[in-house]
A and B are shown apart, each in its own frame.
Chain A
Amino acid sequence: MMDLTKLRAERRSRFWGKEVLPYIGYVIQSGVAVLLLFMLIAFAAWYTSLVQHIPTGLPIRWIMLIIFVPLTVNSSFRTYLQPADIVFLLPQESNMNRYFNASWISGVVYKLLGLALVFLISWPLYVRSDEHPKNFWLFLLVLIALKLLASYGCWKELRMVSRRASMAYRFLRYVILALFLAAWLWQPAGRSVIFMVLLAATYFAALRIPAKHLVAWERLIAQEKIQSGRVLMILGWFVSVSGRQQRIYSRKWLSWAGNRTPWKPQTAYRYLLMKSFVRSDILGIVLRAGILGALLVWWNRSGMLGIGIYLFFVFVVGVQLTSLLRYHSESFWLHVYPIPPGSRRINAIGLAFQIQLLFAVLMWLPLLEAGVAQLGSVFMTLAGGVILCLLFRYFAGRKKTIDDDDE
Chain B
Amino acid sequence: MNGNTVLDIQGLSGGYSLNRPVLHDISFQVNPGEMVGLIGLNGAGKSTTMKHILGLMNPQKGEIRVQGKKREEDSETYHGSLAFVPESPLLYEEMTVREHLEFTARAYNVTRGDYEERADRLARIFRMQDKMDSLSTHLSKGMRQKVMIMCAFVARPSLYIIDEPFLGLDPLGIRSLLDFMVELKEGGSSILLSSHILSTIENYCDRFIVLHQGKVIAQGTLQDIAVQAGTNGAGLEDMFYTLVQGRD
Chain A positions near chain B (C-beta within 8 angstroms): 246, 248, 250, 255, 261, 263-265, 267-268, 271-272, 275-276, 279-280, 328, 331-333, 335-341
Between-chain CB contacts (< 8 Å), 14 pairs: A246-B93, A250-B135, A255-B133, A263-B106, A263-B112, A265-B106, A272-B95, A276-B92, A335-B56, A336-B56, A337-B79, A338-B77, A341-B75, A341-B76
* Distance of A339 Cα from B92 Cα, bound (Å): 16
Contact A280 B79 (CB under 8 A): no
Given A337-B104, A341-B75, A265 contacting B93 (CB threshold 8 A): no
- Is there a chain A Cβ closer than 8 Å to B130's Cβ? no
Contact A271 B106 (CB under 8 A): yes
- Is there a chain A Cβ closer than 8 Å to B54's Cβ? yes
Residue in B77, B94, B107 whose CB lies within 8 Å of A248: B94
Q: Which residue of A lies closest to B112 (CB)?
A: A263
- Is there a chain A Cβ closer than 8 Å to B241's Cβ? no
* Distance of A250 Cα from B90 Cα, bound (Å): 19
* Distance of A200 Cα from B40 Cα, bound (Å): 65
- Is there a chain A Cβ closer than 8 Å to B166's Cβ? no
Given A250-B135, A338-B80, A341-B76, A255 contacting B107 (CB threshold 8 A): no
Contact A265 B99 (CB under 8 A): no
Given A248-B135, A265-B108, A336-B54, A276 contacting B102 (CB threshold 8 A): no
- Is there a chain A Cβ closer than 8 Å to B232's Cβ? no
Contact A267 B95 (CB under 8 A): no
Q: State how many angstroms separate the Cβ of A404 from the closest Cβ of chain B.
A: 15
* Distance of A328 Cα from B92 Cα, bound (Å): 9
Known: A263-B106, A337-B79. 7 other contacts (CB 8 A): A271-B102, A276-B92, A280-B94, A328-B92, A336-B54, A336-B84, A338-B108
Contact A271 B54 (CB under 8 A): no
Residue in B84, B94, B96, B106 whose CB lies within 8 Å of A246: B94
Q: State how many angstroms separate the Cβ of B79 from the closest Cβ of chain A.
A: 4
Contact B112 A272 (CB under 8 A): no
In the assembled complex, which residues on chain A have CB atoms less than 8 Å from the CB atom of B76? 265, 338, 340-341
Contact A275 B106 (CB under 8 A): no
Q: Which residue of A lies closest to B93 (CB)?
A: A248
In the assembled complex, which residues on chain A have CB atoms less than 8 Å from the CB atom of B92? 272, 275-276, 328, 331, 333
* Distance of A255 Cα from B77 Cα, bound (Å): 31
Q: Which residue of B lies closest to A340 (CB)?
A: B76
* Distance of A219 Cα from B113 Cα, bound (Å): 42
Q: State how many angstroms separate the Cβ of B167 from the closest Cβ of chain A.
A: 17
- Is there a chain A Cβ closer than 8 Å to B109's Cβ? yes
Q: How large is the interface on B (under 10, 10 to 19, 20 to 34, 35 or more residues)?
A: 20 to 34
Contact A255 B106 (CB under 8 A): no
Contact B93 A264 (CB under 8 A): no
Binary contact track B128-167/A, C-beta < 8 Å → 1, others 0:
0000010101000000000000000000000000000000
Given A248-B94, A272-B95, A332-B90, A338 contacting B79 (CB threshold 8 A): yes
Within 8 A of A (CB), among B46-80: 54-56, 75-80
In the assembled complex, which residues on chain A have CB atoms less than 8 Å from the CB atom of B95? 272, 275-276
Contact A337 B94 (CB under 8 A): no
- Is there a chain A Cβ closer than 8 Å to B103's Cβ? yes
Q: Which residue of A lies closest to B75 (CB)?
A: A341
In the assembled complex, which residues on chain B have CB atoms less than 8 Å from the CB atom of A268? 103, 106-107
Contact B90 A333 (CB under 8 A): yes
* Distance of A264 Cα from B105 Cα, bound (Å): 9
In the assembled complex, which residues on chain B have CB atoms less than 8 Å from the CB atom of A255? 96, 133
Contact A275 B94 (CB under 8 A): yes
Which has the most chain B C-beta neighbours within 10 Å: A255, A268, A332, A337?
Answer: A337
* Distance of A246 Cα from B135 Cα, bound (Å): 14
* Distance of A211 Cα from B54 Cα, bound (Å): 50
Q: State how many angstroms separate the Cβ of B156 from the closest Cβ of chain A.
A: 13
Residue in B55, B80, B103 whose CB lies within 8 Å of A335: B55
Contact A264 B106 (CB under 8 A): yes
Binary contact track B95-125/A, C-beta < 8 Å → 1, others 0:
1100100111011110110000000000000
Q: State how many angstroms separate the Cβ of A349 from the closest Cβ of chain B.
A: 19
Contact B107 A337 (CB under 8 A): yes
In the assembled complex, which residues on chain A have CB atoms less than 8 Å from the CB atom of B78? 338
Q: Which residue of B lies closest to A245 (CB)?
A: B93
In the assembled complex, which residues on chain B have CB atoms less than 8 Å from the CB atom of A336? 54-56, 79, 84
Q: Which residue of B lies closest to A249 (CB)?
A: B94
